[in-house]
């Protein structure tokens, strides 16, 4: 159970940043995963007054505030038309509507959880994160940032260079944690495959061998699925064995490519 003494609701990013400089303090996000942890912290920091709960766009990017909920992502027409529903598909199996009205995209990304559907899809889409002091970095780079990271995730930036995206996952039962997550996107002409819930953090594979250089066919999709499954490291836990995940990976990549 999460234990804490103080609740802070800063009114500026600078104030929030000052608060996270103490290692015992933590940003709340949606507080869903955090609440289930056996953990004692000093002050919980609620960013709800910082106006980070909106999705905006300009000609080059979508800007998704870190306090945007998973439900907001799911029902945002522009974002889902742009990603061909991939973002909605990535979140729609996460518990239920009430949960997704609480959980924030920032909490999912900043937490860098192995089981994260959200991280998987944004990694494939070539998204970036904007941190208050560390600036703008790609999700790929952000995954390897040190923990704990004493910074504030301001927003996710999704460049408008995606030309198709598909998301699929497998679960042992509906609304459970995924046993494998897979997102495939074509970004600036490059095929990007993200595999998560391995059960380790999502990882990115691109078409370095040119398997898809002549386009997606039944054969090239099959080959690329085998390639991704051979490149990615899988592990075992109570949800699935590594061998199972490897076989499922091959199939999900192929299916995603065929739908792209």
Query: Residue numbers of the site for another protein (CB under 8 A)?
Result: 3-7, 9, 28, 30-32, 35-36, 44, 46, 48, 71, 92, 95-99, 101-102, 174-175
> DSSP letters along 190-246, please?
EEEEEEE-SSSS-EEEE-TT-TTTT---HHHHHHHHHHHHHHS-----SS--HHHHH
Query: Residue 151 CB, nearest distance to another protein (Å)?
Result: 22
Phi and psi at 37, nearest 5°, equal -85, 150
Residue 28 or 185 having the CB closest to another protein? 28
Query: Residue 12 CB, nearest distance to another protein (Å)?
Result: 18
Residue 8 or 200 having the CB closest to another protein? 8
Sheet holding 43-45, edge to edge: 6-8, 43-45, 26-27
Query: Residue 176 CB, nearest distance to another protein (Å)?
Result: 10
Residue 28 or 212 having the CB closest to another protein? 28
Burial 16-50 (b: 16+ CB within 10 A, else e): bbebbeeeebbbbbbbbbbeeeeeebebbbbbeeb
Structure tokens at 61: 């990017």
Residue 175 or 230 having the CB closest to another protein? 175
Query: In sequence order, what are the beta bridge partners of 130?
Result: 136, 155
Residue 81 or 174 having the CB closest to another protein? 174
Query: Residue 13 CB, nearest distance to another protein (Å)?
Result: 18
Half-sphere exposure of 72 (CA within 13 A, CB side): 17
Residue 4 or 244 having the CB closest to another protein? 4
Secondary structure of 34-77 in the HEC alphabet? HHHCCEECCEEECCHHHCCCCEEECCCEEEEECCCEHHHHHHCH
Q: Is the peptide bond before 67 cis (omega within 30 degrees of 0)?
A: no
Query: Residue 9 CB, nearest distance to another protein (Å)?
Result: 8
Query: Residue 97 CB, nearest distance to another protein (Å)?
Result: 6
Residue 11 or 59 having the CB closest to another protein? 11
Query: Residue 142 CB, nearest distance to another protein (Å)?
Result: 25
């Amino acid at each position: 159970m999460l234990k804490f003494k103080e609740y802070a609701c800063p009114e500026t990013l600078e104030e929030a940043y000052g608060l996270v400089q103490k290692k015992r303090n933590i940003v709340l996000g949606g507080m869903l995963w955090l609440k289930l942890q056996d953990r004692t912290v000093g002050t919980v920091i609620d960013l709800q007054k910082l106006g980070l709960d909106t999705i905006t766009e300009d000609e080059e990017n979508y800007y998704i505030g870190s306090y945007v909920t998973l439900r907001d992502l799911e029902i945002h027409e522009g974002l889902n038309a742009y990603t061909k529903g991939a973002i909605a598909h990535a979140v729609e199996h996460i518990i239920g509507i009430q949960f997704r009205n609480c959980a924030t995209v920032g909490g999912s990304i900043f937490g860098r959880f192995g089981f994260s559907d959200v991280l998987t899809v944004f990694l494939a889409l070539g998204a970036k994160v904007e941190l208050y002091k560390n600036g703008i970095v790609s999700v790929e780079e952000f995954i390897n940032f040190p923990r704990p990271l004493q910074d504030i995730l301001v927003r996710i930036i999704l460049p408008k260079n995606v030309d198709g995206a598909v998301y699929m996952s497998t679960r042992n039962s509906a609304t459970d944690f995924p046993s494998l997550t897979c997102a495939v996107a074509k970004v600036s002409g490059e095929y990007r495959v993200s595999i998560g819930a391995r059960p380790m953090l999502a990882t990115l594979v691109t078409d370095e061998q040119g398997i898809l250089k002549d386009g997606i066919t039944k054969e090239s999709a099959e080959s690329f699925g085998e390639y991704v499954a051979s490149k990615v490291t899988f592990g075992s836990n109570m949800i699935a064995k590594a061998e199972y995940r490897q076989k499922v990976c091959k199939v999900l990549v192929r299916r995603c490519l065929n739908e792209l």
